[in-house]
A = this chain, B = another copy of it.
Amino acid sequence: MSDAANKDRLNTLMCYNVYALHHAFGRFYQAAFADSGFTYPKYIVLLALNEGGPMSLGDLSAKVGLEANSLSPMVKKMSAFGLIERVRDPEDERRVLLSLKPYGETVLHEAHKVVEAGWNALGLPDTTVEMTNAFLADTRARLEKTPPKVKFKVPDREPDQG
Protein backbone atom coordinates (compact mmCIF):
# COMPACT_ATOMS: atom_id res chain seq x y z
CA MET A 1 0.00 0.00 0.00
CA SER A 2 1.25 3.49 -0.84
CA ASP A 3 2.16 5.92 1.93
CA ALA A 4 -0.81 8.10 1.07
CA ALA A 5 -3.23 5.19 1.17
CA ASN A 6 -1.72 4.04 4.44
CA LYS A 7 -2.13 7.50 5.91
CA ASP A 8 -5.73 7.42 4.78
CA ARG A 9 -6.26 4.25 6.70
CA LEU A 10 -4.87 5.79 9.87
CA ASN A 11 -7.61 8.31 10.35
CA THR A 12 -10.37 6.07 9.14
CA LEU A 13 -9.16 3.41 11.53
CA MET A 14 -9.09 5.87 14.41
CA CYS A 15 -12.70 6.95 14.09
CA TYR A 16 -13.67 3.43 13.20
CA ASN A 17 -11.98 1.97 16.27
CA VAL A 18 -13.45 4.58 18.55
CA TYR A 19 -16.86 3.97 17.02
CA ALA A 20 -16.68 0.21 17.52
CA LEU A 21 -15.14 0.45 20.99
CA HIS A 22 -17.79 2.90 22.13
CA HIS A 23 -20.49 0.43 21.22
CA ALA A 24 -18.55 -2.42 22.77
CA PHE A 25 -18.41 -0.44 26.02
CA GLY A 26 -22.12 0.23 25.66
CA ARG A 27 -22.97 -3.45 25.38
CA PHE A 28 -20.54 -4.29 28.16
CA TYR A 29 -22.30 -1.93 30.55
CA GLN A 30 -25.70 -2.93 29.29
CA ALA A 31 -24.87 -6.52 30.19
CA ALA A 32 -23.54 -5.45 33.59
CA PHE A 33 -26.52 -3.23 34.40
CA ALA A 34 -28.95 -5.70 32.83
CA ASP A 35 -32.56 -4.63 33.28
CA SER A 36 -31.88 -2.56 36.37
CA GLY A 37 -33.04 0.57 34.56
CA PHE A 38 -29.57 1.97 35.08
CA THR A 39 -27.59 2.67 31.90
CA TYR A 40 -24.16 3.49 30.52
CA PRO A 41 -24.87 7.18 29.84
CA LYS A 42 -26.37 7.56 33.31
CA TYR A 43 -23.24 6.00 34.75
CA ILE A 44 -21.15 8.56 32.86
CA VAL A 45 -23.28 11.38 34.23
CA LEU A 46 -22.94 10.13 37.81
CA LEU A 47 -19.17 9.86 37.30
CA ALA A 48 -18.96 13.41 36.00
CA LEU A 49 -21.03 14.81 38.85
CA ASN A 50 -19.05 12.84 41.40
CA GLU A 51 -15.76 14.05 40.01
CA GLY A 52 -16.67 17.64 39.21
CA GLY A 53 -19.00 18.35 42.10
CA PRO A 54 -22.23 20.32 41.70
CA MET A 55 -22.42 21.96 38.31
CA SER A 56 -24.86 23.46 35.86
CA LEU A 57 -26.37 21.52 32.98
CA GLY A 58 -24.15 23.45 30.59
CA ASP A 59 -21.04 22.54 32.55
CA LEU A 60 -22.07 18.89 32.58
CA SER A 61 -22.67 19.13 28.86
CA ALA A 62 -19.13 20.37 28.26
CA LYS A 63 -17.66 17.80 30.63
CA VAL A 64 -19.26 14.67 29.20
CA GLY A 65 -19.29 15.94 25.62
CA LEU A 66 -23.02 15.80 25.01
CA GLU A 67 -25.28 18.61 23.92
CA ALA A 68 -27.40 20.20 26.61
CA ASN A 69 -30.60 19.15 24.88
CA SER A 70 -29.49 15.52 25.05
CA LEU A 71 -28.80 15.72 28.76
CA SER A 72 -31.87 17.72 29.71
CA PRO A 73 -34.40 14.85 29.59
CA MET A 74 -31.90 12.40 31.09
CA VAL A 75 -31.11 14.45 34.18
CA LYS A 76 -34.83 14.95 34.70
CA LYS A 77 -35.35 11.20 34.78
CA MET A 78 -32.35 10.76 37.06
CA SER A 79 -33.73 13.41 39.35
CA ALA A 80 -37.12 11.71 39.40
CA PHE A 81 -35.32 8.50 40.28
CA GLY A 82 -33.66 10.19 43.25
CA LEU A 83 -30.10 9.93 41.95
CA ILE A 84 -29.38 13.63 41.63
CA GLU A 85 -30.68 16.96 42.77
CA ARG A 86 -31.81 19.44 40.16
CA VAL A 87 -32.52 23.02 41.25
CA ARG A 88 -32.55 26.44 39.64
CA ASP A 89 -29.57 28.58 40.60
CA PRO A 90 -30.91 31.40 42.81
CA GLU A 91 -27.99 33.54 41.58
CA ASP A 92 -29.02 33.08 37.95
CA GLU A 93 -32.44 31.64 37.35
CA ARG A 94 -31.49 30.53 33.85
CA ARG A 95 -29.09 27.96 35.22
CA VAL A 96 -29.99 24.53 36.60
CA LEU A 97 -27.64 23.20 39.26
CA LEU A 98 -27.05 19.45 39.39
CA SER A 99 -25.55 17.53 42.27
CA LEU A 100 -25.25 13.94 43.45
CA LYS A 101 -27.67 12.86 46.14
CA PRO A 102 -26.64 10.26 48.73
CA TYR A 103 -28.68 7.66 46.86
CA GLY A 104 -26.84 8.57 43.66
CA GLU A 105 -23.54 8.04 45.45
CA THR A 106 -24.73 4.64 46.64
CA VAL A 107 -25.78 3.61 43.14
CA LEU A 108 -22.53 4.91 41.66
CA HIS A 109 -20.54 2.99 44.24
CA GLU A 110 -22.38 -0.26 43.54
CA ALA A 111 -22.16 0.20 39.79
CA HIS A 112 -18.49 0.95 40.15
CA LYS A 113 -17.82 -2.37 41.86
CA VAL A 114 -19.45 -4.24 38.98
CA VAL A 115 -17.59 -2.24 36.35
CA GLU A 116 -14.32 -2.64 38.21
CA ALA A 117 -14.68 -6.44 38.35
CA GLY A 118 -15.44 -6.63 34.66
CA TRP A 119 -12.63 -4.29 33.74
CA ASN A 120 -10.01 -6.15 35.77
CA ALA A 121 -10.98 -9.36 34.00
CA LEU A 122 -9.77 -7.79 30.74
CA GLY A 123 -6.17 -7.75 31.92
CA LEU A 124 -5.13 -4.54 30.15
CA PRO A 125 -1.76 -3.01 31.07
CA ASP A 126 -2.14 0.12 33.21
CA THR A 127 0.60 2.15 31.55
CA THR A 128 -0.88 1.67 28.10
CA VAL A 129 -4.33 2.58 29.39
CA GLU A 130 -2.90 5.74 30.88
CA MET A 131 -1.12 6.74 27.67
CA THR A 132 -4.19 5.97 25.62
CA ASN A 133 -6.38 8.03 27.93
CA ALA A 134 -4.12 11.02 27.51
CA PHE A 135 -4.10 10.68 23.74
CA LEU A 136 -7.86 10.22 23.49
CA ALA A 137 -8.41 13.33 25.59
CA ASP A 138 -5.95 15.26 23.41
CA THR A 139 -7.64 14.09 20.22
CA ARG A 140 -11.02 15.10 21.55
CA ALA A 141 -9.74 18.56 22.48
CA ARG A 142 -8.27 19.07 19.02
CA LEU A 143 -11.42 17.84 17.30
CA GLU A 144 -13.54 20.27 19.29
CA LYS A 145 -11.14 23.12 18.67
CA THR A 146 -10.76 22.43 14.94
CA PRO A 147 -14.03 21.91 13.07
CA PRO A 148 -13.68 20.74 9.47
CA LYS A 149 -13.04 23.56 6.99
CA VAL A 150 -14.06 21.74 3.82
CA LYS A 151 -17.69 20.71 3.51
CA PHE A 152 -19.02 17.61 1.84
CA LYS A 153 -21.41 17.83 -1.07
CA VAL A 154 -23.27 14.71 -2.19
CA PRO A 155 -22.08 13.90 -5.72
CA ASP A 156 -24.63 13.81 -8.50
CA ARG A 157 -25.81 10.35 -9.31
CA GLU A 158 -24.83 9.49 -12.85
CA PRO A 159 -27.48 7.50 -14.71
CA ASP A 160 -25.00 4.74 -15.54
CA GLN A 161 -24.09 4.25 -11.91
CA GLY A 162 -27.52 2.81 -11.10
Interface, chain A (partner B; CB < 8 A): 7-8, 10-25, 27-29, 31-34, 36-38, 40-41, 44, 47-48, 64-66, 82, 101-103, 106-107, 110-119, 121-124, 126, 128-133, 135-140, 142-144, 146-155, 157-158, 161-162
Contacts and interface: CB of A to CB of B under 8 A. Distances in A.
A135 B14 CA distance: 11
Q: Which of A20, A66, A121, A150: most chain B CB closer than 10 A?
A: A20
B149 A37 contact: no
Given A103-B155, A103-B158, 11 more contacts: A7-B126, A11-B116, A16-B44, A19-B65, A20-B64, A24-B65, A37-B154, A82-B157, A110-B154, A113-B150, A118-B148
A129 B25 contact: no
A32 B122 CA distance: 36
